[in-house]
Structure 1
Amino acid sequence: MAIRRLAEEERLSGAVVANGLVWLAGQVADDASLDVEGQTADILRQIDALLAEAGTDKSRLLTVTVVLADIRDAPAMNRAWDRWLNPAAKPARMTIQGALVDPRWRVEITGVAALP
């Protein structure tokens, strides 16, 4: 089985492609000064780019986990999510609250997508 690692950094890969699937690392905003809605939009842009590099797109997302630093930010996160989401291809999704590594980050998103 071939394994491809995309957007490699010091400690992790942004995504790993293997066995017909794309596993996304937890994606955080490039600009931590944005509000929750802006950070979410930035993360979703990054996810689009990683999925494209892997050879797939958001319509093939199977599952997504959203971690919010404060669960009360869910409505703001959902505004960006709803603008981005393909309503004909909604993934299974879980949204939880958790402490993020950098206190400026308000949102982290990970998921798994299928290749065509």
Structure 2
Amino acid sequence: MMIQRHDTKTRMSRAVIHQGVAYLCGQVAGPEARSGDITTQTESMLSRVDALLEEIGSDREHLLSATLYLKNGGDVAAMNAVWDAWMPQGHAPARACVCAPMPSEELLVEISVTAVIPAA
């Protein structure tokens, strides 16, 4: 039962894989999008999820669960519009969305996902 850790730092790894399941660390908008609105930040954040999934050999069609954290509850409709366009039809994961303080003032949204690594 080997555990693989990717890009491990002092407090976290960007991804941890165990028995074919990947647990991604929280993803937020990239630095270039952090001054943007919820739509801009959600698009950037999901793009970063795509990149990390690709890096570990998975994709958005293999998501098992997603937890979204919003700074402002009033942003849920705009965030969902981006999410709905991003999520392939028929592949929606189990999902939760909560309001929570963000790690830095400019951030509006964060996501944590779990995904399967499909067999090669």
- Aligned pairs for 1:26-65 (under 5 A) are 26-31=26-31, 32-65=34-67
Q: What is the count of residue pairs matched by the alignment?
A: 116
1:4 aligns with 2:4: yes
Q: Which amino acid aligns with 1:18?
A: H
1:3 corresponds to which letter in structure 2?
I
Moved over 3 A (4+): 7-10
In 1, the alpha carbon distance for the partners of 2:56 and 2:18 equals: 10
The 5-angstrom pairing of residues 88-103 of structure 1 reads: 88-103=90-105
Residue 25 in structure 1 maps to residue 25 in structure 2:
yes
Partner amino acid, structure 1, of 2:88: N
CA contact (8 A) 1:71 1:97 kept: yes
1:81 aligns with 2:83: yes
Displacement of 1:10: 4.4
The runs of 5 or more residues in structure 2 that have no matched partner are none
| CA displacement, residues 73-92 of structure 1 (integer Å, 9 cap, x when unaligned) | 00111121111111121101
TM-score using structure 2 length: 0.90
**Cross-structure match for 2:106:** 104
Instruction: State which of 95, 100, 115 in structure 2 corresponds to 1:113.
Output: 115
Normalising by structure 1, we get a TM-score of 0.93
Q: Work out the percentage of aligned pairs sharing the same amino acid.
A: 38
Alpha-carbon distance in structure 1 between the residues aligned to 2:14 and 2:59: 15
Q: Please name the residue that 2:15 is paired with.
A: 15
- Name the SS of the counterpart of 1:86 in structure 2: coil
What is the DSSP-based 3-state SS (H/G/I as helix, E as strand, rest coil) of the residue aligned with 2:58?
coil
**Partner Cα separation in structure 2 for residue 40 and residue 19 of structure 1:** 29
User: Which sections of structure 1, spanning at least 5 residues, go unmatched?
Assistant: none
CA RMSD of aligned residues (A): 1.2
